[in-house]
Amino acid sequence: MIKKIATNATIRTRARVGTTSRDIAKWPKIVYTTDDKYTSGVRLTWTGESPTSSTVHRVTDPVFGLYSIPIHTAMASMPISNDLIEDSAFDIAGISSDFMAESFVLGENDAFINGSGIGRPMGILSQVDGDGPESVKSGTAATLLSNGIIDLAYKLPAQYESNAAFIMAKATEKVIRQLKTTDGFYIWPLNSPMGGFAPAPKELLGFQTLRDEFMPAIAANSYPIIFGDLRGYLVLDRVGISVQRLSEIYAETNITLLLARKRLGGQTIEPWRIKVQKCSA
């Protein structure tokens, strides 16, 4: 079979993945945004032997909240001529099922990044600067600067760096590769420090880089780079992908229909694990 190769899907493999038996999942959360040092607003108070009041050491912030993550349904179908199924030299129905499975893998990945949350998962970039990740400005209106990328990396709290990675389209990576110092040297080295026979480093500022062609292109006010630990994004599976072969309903038109279906949801639940670069001055 001669065919194209599908692009990469990066989000699910690095996200927090769970299952649910309901049409909406509720996840408890800690309500705290003051800083990146503590988990909640609870603090010790040095009261001495005799506290000045019975409430001097009491937390005043609300501690607990709740996420509600809805489950959505996705479907795809593909009609195939019965003559083609009978006369083909290969398993055309099996290959067609693979095509639909691929469409679900890539389609959900697109939604995990860009989804509106209406009838589909809420994408990481759709929640920026709201109840999702914080944006970090690039430093110029419509492109990237080295200082902006450094600001992005250093905006992530230190405790989330161990699993952090940059996610961007290949064209965005090219722009970063071409950034130079005033002396004309590439900021992201093209040559390996180990010598000419070793591969050039794929890491940017010491962190892994991943290509995802569903990431936005560089443009004014776009978000071309996600950086951080994607376990801050939750994927919830309700019903895995199933493929039905419907032979009777379209029999009069000599057609067999393959129908695929899946139910899942997605939402950023730990936005502090993820930062996003915004093309902005």
In a domain, 167, yes or no: yes
pTM, whole model, 2 decimals? 0.89
In a domain, 44, yes or no: no
Give me the domain span that covers residue 220: 11-32+63-278
pLDDT in tens, 56-107: 888 777 788 899 999 999 999 999 999 998 888 888 888 888 899 999 999 9
In a domain, 42, yes or no: no
In a domain, 45, yes or no: no
In a domain, 38, yes or no: no
Query: If you ran DSSP here, which 8-state letter would residue 171 be given?
Result: H
What's residue 216's pLDDT?
97
Total tally of structural domains belonging to the chain? 1
**CB-based contact 106:69 (threshold 8 Å):** no
**Which CATH number belongs to the domain containing residue 145 in this structure?**
3.30.2400.10
Distances in Å between the alpha carbon of 168 and those of 113, 175, 187, 229?
Answer: 11, 11, 18, 14
In a domain, 58, yes or no: no
Average pLDDT along the chain = 91
pLDDT in tens, 156-203: 999 999 999 999 999 999 999 999 988 888 888 776 666 666 666 688
Q: Which helix (H) or strand (E) holds 233?
A: strand 233-246
The Cβ of residue 160 has, within 10 Å, a number of other Cβ atoms equal to 18
Q: How far apart are CA 28 and CA 21, in angstroms?
A: 17
Task: Please report, for the chain, how many H helices and E strands are present, in that order.
Answer: 5, 11
